Amino acid sequence: MPDTLMPDPDAPRWQAVLARDPAPACGAFLYAVTTQGVFCRPGCPSRAPLRRNTRFFADAAGAEAAGFRACKRCDPKGQRAALQAEAVRAACTMIEAAETMPSLADLAQRAGYARHHFLRLFRDITGVTPRSYAEGVRARRLQAALAEGDRVAEAVAGAGFGSESRVYEAPGRLLGMTPGAARRGGAGEVIRVAHAASAMGPLLVGATASGICFIGFAEPPEALEGDLRARFPKARIVPAGEEMEAALRQVAGFIAEPVAALALPLDLRGTAFQRQVWEALQRIPLGETRSYAGLAAEIGNPAAVRAVARACARNPVALAVPCHRVVGSGGDLTGYRWGVPRKAALLAAEAKARR
């Protein structure tokens, strides 16, 4: 009988090591290098070992029991990452509690890192710089004070802005609207709403003078209108006339047969980060999907995966900003405001339309 080579049961793991794949399809594992006495993650940036010097383990406990120690570069036990995350959390707490923005030097010194190293850590973990994070904190304080009815000048001062001009220079970047509009909760604004039936149940489209501000479907009309009112608690909601019929037909038509992107004038109100995510969503072609991690990388914040997911969840104009085109890293259909079965149906229809 001729000799036959036995297949290597660890071949997929070995290929993942060579590819430095941090999330291999064969599942999580660690590998150890016998000549160096260390164990690593498959995505370790170190030079790949020889196959004959490589052993594979399911977890850190197994590798340590075999006498190997953790690699200092890829941190397979996550100890360094945990320390870094805790340092960044402490810095965020410091920013939240401070009346004025702490300097980068003070934050870095408190965390025990060099200034530039800390800046990189903070950006990698939170997706933003400390200054941007502080601006977000001040914007939240300002929005809360305005929602409670504080005068603009008092709210601006209480939120930590040096002057009203800082806020009025870029109100959309901070609040998605002017301070006065935020204080009024939509008071003085008129939102025209139109209802229709669609292939996925009741449909509601709402629009301000600037464009479509809300699209919802698949729920009772009163629930959809309640969602809209929660976003604009003091706005005057009125039935739309014929001017909304074209938009309503376009949205209903898209639900029935998504053959082209929804080209509607939009009035999107959100933080700068949210709008950045929403704009990236609008660039996803019909029939394609992105993962949350892929979308985060696309906007230049690869560590901001959770923030991207939150921005998708806060999307006020379903379908026009196609958050249904974002899926889990393994292609699984994660949560969707209007129900995962409807997300699956939309994606299937878009894939069919593209063929």
> What's the confidence (pLDDT) of residue 140?
63
Catalytic status, residue 40: yes
Query: Could you report the per-residue pLDDT of 250-302, keeping only the tens digit for each?
Result: 999 999 988 877 889 998 877 677 888 999 999 999 989 999 989 988 888 88
| pLDDT cut 70: percent of the chain above it | 82
Burial of 331 (0-12, 13-18, 19+ CB in 10 A): exposed
> What's the confidence (pLDDT) of residue 28?
87
Check whether 174 has a pLDDT greater than 70: no
- Side chain identity, residue 127: G
Catalytic-role residue among 40, 71, 92, 213: 40
> What's the confidence (pLDDT) of residue 157?
45
Helices (H), 66-163: 79-97, 104-111, 115-126, 130-147, 152-159
Please state the φ and ψ torsions of residue 139, each to the nearest 5 degrees: -65, -40
Catalytic status, residue 323: yes
> What's the confidence (pLDDT) of residue 217?
93
* Cα-based angle 220, 345, 264 (whole degrees, multiple of 5): 70
Check whether 214 has a pLDDT greater than 90: yes
| Across 12-21, 47-56, 254-263, least confident range | 254-263
Task: Tell me the C-alpha distance between 318 and 205, whole Å.
Answer: 10
Catalytic-role residue among 74, 92, 213, 323: 323
Query: Could you report the per-residue pLDDT of 223-241, keeping only the tens digit for each?
Result: 899 888 887 877 889 999 8
For residue 220, CA distances in Å to 79, 203, 251 come to: 49, 9, 17
Residues 6+ apart with CB under 8 A from 32: 38, 39, 40, 54, 55, 56, 57, 63, 66, 68
Mean pLDDT over all residues of the chain?
Answer: 81
> What's the confidence (pLDDT) of residue 274?
83
Would the pTM of this model clear 0.75, i.e. be above it?
no
